């Protein structure tokens, strides 16, 4: 061995010995970390395994369900969807015979998940619920089950039913209006206006107008006016739609009212003129506000938007603030008469103020 080789070995030997020693001490620790856990035993240094925590955020759960629903509709093959539809339809008679409403509701959701091929059968179940007089769909929006029932597939069914209302049970149409508004995840002004253009049931159309009032926006004024013209031909809800346009108060909405006031349709033109008279009242007359509230007081049932307050308990009224003060000073349990002018005609409303309740009756003068 040469002198240079000897010096190299002498220099590297300590480092080699240190590396071997370090490996001797570290390798047991590495084996402990990488060894698979023994069933029933938690290895030292490892945290106990836990079940994944359920997702508690309701909006996220519903968004995921919506994605899954949309994906299933896009990827389903026509033949598979037809076979599934047949299997689901075969279960309806048995569930109806046994009166299993929960089973029928679950089946209705499965049919709705098929998309349009399953909608007709799903609505047959809704008709069965209506005829039975007790429906699991008839729950309040604040019930925890409400959003479980009206899942993304059922919301799609609801929007479709509003666009194709012929033959759909009125009770389901009313629930559809509530569901699409309360869930608040999609803009349903479009299908709602389409529905109002064809709805032939006065009560349902009025409920639709109530919903529309809360979501209407100025850019929807032309569509509202179109629905109003259709409703004028059907004979109902024209005044409600005129009120919505007047309450919007935008330049476009008032322009639509002015055009309707000039139309040849006697119902639409009369209602439009009356609505314009509310937003542009004559001097000395103040109409009740759209919400029915002013200065913290709530006007009693029987008083509607557009009413002009004339007198209360024999006192002539010049403003709604004056009416507020008279309400607060009115004696309890003694009938008081409020006279309002509604669309040019006087109406007498008899009020009885109690501790927590106000009862009322009305009659036209």
Q: Are 355 and 231 part of one and the same domain?
A: no
82 shares its domain with 172: yes
1 belongs to a structural domain: no
CA distance 257 to 102: 47
What CATH code is carried by the domain that includes residue 298?
Answer: 2.30.42.60
Same domain, 236 and 297: no
Specify whether 143 is located in the same domain as 244. yes
Q: How far apart are CA 309 and CA 220, in angstroms?
A: 31
Query: CA torsion 202→203→206→212, rounded to 10°?
Result: -110
Q: Hey, how many other C-beta atoms are within 10 angstroms of the C-beta on 251?
A: 10
pLDDT given at position 23 = 52
Same domain, 352 and 224: no
The boundaries of the domain holding residue 341 are 293-364
Domain boundary (279, 307, 339) is at: 279
What b/e readout covers 148-185, taking b as 16+ CB neighbours within 10 angstroms? Answer: ebbbbbbbbbbbbbbebbeebbebbbbbbbbbbbebee
Residues 205 and 301 in one domain: no
pLDDT(294) > 50:
no
- Residue 156, domain member (yes or no): yes
pLDDT score of 340 more than 50: yes
Based on the domain organization, do 118 and 257 belong to the same domain? Answer: yes
For residues 268 and 299, state if they share a domain: no
Q: Are residues 234 and 179 in the same domain?
A: yes
- 180 with 95, same domain? yes
Q: Check pLDDT > 90 for residue 57.
A: no
Per residue in 201-242, pLDDT tens? Answer: 777 888 888 888 777 888 888 989 988 888 888 777 888 899
Give the span between the Cα atoms of 179 and 140, in whole angstroms. 10
Point out the least confidently predicted range of 44-53, 84-93, 155-164, 224-233: 44-53
Q: Between helices 189-198 and 170-183, what is the axis angle to 10°? A: 160
pLDDT value for 236:
73
- Is residue 11 in a domain? no
Q: Which two tokens stand for residue 155?
A: 């919301």
In total, the chain counts a number of residues equal to: 365
* Domains of the chain: total: 2
Looking at the structure, tell me whether residues 251 and 177 fall in a common domain: yes
Check whether residue 169 and residue 312 sit in a common domain.
no
- Among the three residues 279, 305, 322, which one is the final residue of a domain in this structure? 279
CA distance 311 to 219: 38
6 within some domain? no
**Which of the listed residues 279, 306, 327 is the one where a domain comes to its end?**
279
């Amino acid at each position: 061995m040469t002198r240079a080789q000897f010096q190299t070995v002498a220099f590297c030997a300590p480092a080699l010995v240190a590396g071997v020693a370090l490996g001797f001490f570290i390798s047991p620790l590495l084996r402990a970390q990488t060894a698979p856990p023994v069933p029933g035993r938690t290895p030292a240094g490892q945290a106990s395994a836990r079940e994944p925590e359920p997702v508690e955020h309701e909006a996220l759960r519903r968004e995921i369900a919506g994605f899954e629903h949309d994906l299933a509709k896009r990827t389903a093959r026509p033949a598979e969807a037809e076979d599934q539809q047949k299997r689901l339809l075969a279960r309806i008679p048995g569930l109806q015979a046994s009166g299993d409403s929960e089973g029928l509701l679950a089946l209705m959701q499965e049919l709705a998940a098929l998309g349009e091929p399953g909608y007709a059968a799903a609505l047959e179940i809704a008709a069965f619920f209506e005829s039975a007089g007790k429906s699991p769909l008839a729950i309040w929006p604040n019930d925890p089950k409400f959003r479980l029932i009206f899942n993304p597939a059922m919301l799609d069914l609801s929007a479709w039913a509003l666009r194709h209302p012929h033959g759909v049970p009125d009770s389901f149409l009313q629930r559809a209006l509530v569901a699409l508004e309360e869930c608040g995840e999609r803009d349903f002004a479009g299908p709602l206006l389409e529905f109002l253009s064809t709805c032939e049931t006065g009560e349902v159309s009025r409920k639709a107008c109530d919903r529309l009032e809360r979501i209407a926006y100025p850019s929807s004024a032309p569509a509202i006016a179109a629905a109003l013209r259709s409703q004028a031909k059907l004979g109902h809800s024209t005044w409600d739609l005129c009120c919505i346009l007047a309450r919007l108060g935008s330049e476009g909405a008032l322009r639509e009212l002015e055009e309707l006031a000039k139309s040849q349709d006697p119902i639409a033109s009369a209602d439009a003129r009356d609505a314009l008279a509310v937003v542009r009242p004559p001097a000395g007359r103040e109409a009740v506000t759209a919400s029915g509230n002013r200065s913290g007081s709530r006007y009693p049932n029987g008083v509607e938007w557009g009413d002009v307050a004339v007198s209360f308990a024999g006192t002539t009224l010049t403003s709604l603030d004056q009416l507020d003060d008279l309400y607060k000073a009115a004696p309890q349990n003694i009938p008081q008469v409020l006279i309002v002018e509604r669309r040019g005609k006087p109406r007498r409303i008899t009020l009885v103020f109690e501790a927590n309740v106000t009862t009322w009756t009305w009659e036209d003068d």
